[in-house]
A and B are shown apart, each in its own frame.
Chain A
Amino acid sequence: LGSAVVAVRGADSVVIGVERKTIAKLQDPRTIRKIVKLDATTTLAFAGLTADARVLIEKVRLECQSYRLTCEDAPSLEHIARFIATTQQRYTQRGGVRPFGVSSILAGFGSDGNPQIYQIDPSGTYFAWKANAIGGKNSKGMREFLEKEWTEDLSEPGSLKLVVKTLLEVVDSGSKNMEVAVVRKGSAMELLGEDALNAVTEQVLAEAEAEKNAASGGAEEMKD
């Protein structure tokens, strides 16, 4: 369902990567945004029906500003996750409507200053995660990969590598097929530029190559 999204929580940042499906030649890639800003310090990446996500995101953005207007404070990540979940659940228990076909990953920071990731399903359940993957053709495989590779207190470069590595499991290699963003404390998300992304991808591929050569003892191996 949709294209893959991976999110990894590090020691002081959250890194999100999304699969960018190959687009038609005549299509402008800038108009496809899967990692969006919800609020000054909250970021969302989704997998699923883009149209449903657009409507849901608009609702959430309104809720964030509403909260800021009433409480003169930024909404907590958990509040936003709960809002998204409650909204989605409402559409599973009413007549004449269908659920939002959207799975979301929410990234930001808690009041204690620690990075947080929340995942929200169409059913309206939300959970906090250390690292997660949704959407794409093999989200289960990616999650299992993350379970093996994720460690506590990853640095930002470490999280970046892990996200790219995980995405490369399902995405044809090439940084033009993925989009990566970093969420740091107190600032909006930063989309990684092409050069930076290429550098990380090359590093990951080089390390994988080195591992393979070390393991197989020099025997030639086909890499697809």
Chain B
Amino acid sequence: ENSKRAIIQKMDTILALKGDGFVMMAADCSSARSILVFSQTQDKIKVLDDSKLLGQSGPQCDTANFSEYIQKNMTLYELNNNMKLSTHATAHYMRRELATALRKGPYQTNILLGGYDEKAGESLYFIDVYSALVKVNFGVHGHASNFLLSVFDREWKEGLSVDQALDVVRKCVAELRTRFLIAQPNFIIKVVDANGVRLVEL
């Protein structure tokens, strides 16, 4: 087995939180390997469909492969069954795929899946590289989690508005910029709610 792939990369920062009728997700935009930065404009939050956001961290080979595979299968399900997969179903489908691959050829991708469903409302799911699935109010992946989970613990509460959530995200970014060794100059923030997905300025 390739020893390089056995090293779990934790450089990407993906964070998300639930608010009142929405899920806000933010990710850094650096794409790098070892000491070289390929790009500072990488979008790590995939829009799976008009009601789901998929934030992924890890090497792009695995994240792209996994997310594209999931997305195409979701479209196929939609066409065959005339209904969209719910966020809950999607999260569990992802977990199943990751779990099956785990002891064959694992996908090295940490996932945050945020979605808005008509019946269930807003929901956020945290899936890690080992395919552990948890439904959460907020989540972070990567080294950043060491810094940001405490920020969320302090700042998050039930029923945040979009502005309040954005404020929390700003506090997270400020914390990283102060204390995290890896410089991550750009962040992309997306929000999903009943009206769909939109981009938000930091």
Contacts and interface: CB of A to CB of B under 8 A. Distances in A.
A69 B68 contact: yes
A67 B73 CA distance: 12
A69 B66 CA distance: 11
B69 A38 contact: no
A77 to B, nearest CB: 16
Nearest to A57: B80
Contact of B72 (A37, A38, A58, A65): A65
A39 interface: yes
A68 B72 CA distance: 8
Nearest to B79: A61
A40 B79 CA distance: 9
A156 B168 CA distance: 52
Contacts of A58: 80
Contacts of B79: 37-39, 61
A49 interface: no
Interface in A60-92: 61-62, 65-66, 68-69
Contact of A62 (B68, B69, B76): B76
Nearest to A58: B80
A37 B80 CA distance: 9
Chain A contact residues, majority secondary structure? helix
Contacts of B72: 65-66, 68-69
Main secondary structure of the interface of B (DSSP, over half): helix
B80 A65 contact: no
Interface in B64-80: 68-69, 72-73, 75-76, 79-80
A195 B57 CA distance: 51
Contacts of A66: 72
Interface in A17-51: 37-40
Contact of B80 (A40, A61, A68, A69): A61
Contacts of A62: 76
A39 B76 CA distance: 9
B142 to A, nearest CB: 27
B84 to A, nearest CB: 14
A65 B69 CA distance: 9
19 contacts: A37-B79, A38-B79, A39-B79, A40-B75, A58-B80, A61-B76, A61-B79, A61-B80, A62-B76, A65-B72, A65-B73, A65-B75, A65-B76, A66-B72, A68-B72, A68-B75, A69-B68, A69-B69, A69-B72
Closest 10 CB pairs of A and B: A65-B72, A69-B72, A65-B76, A61-B79, A65-B75, A61-B76, A69-B68, A68-B72, A58-B80, A61-B80
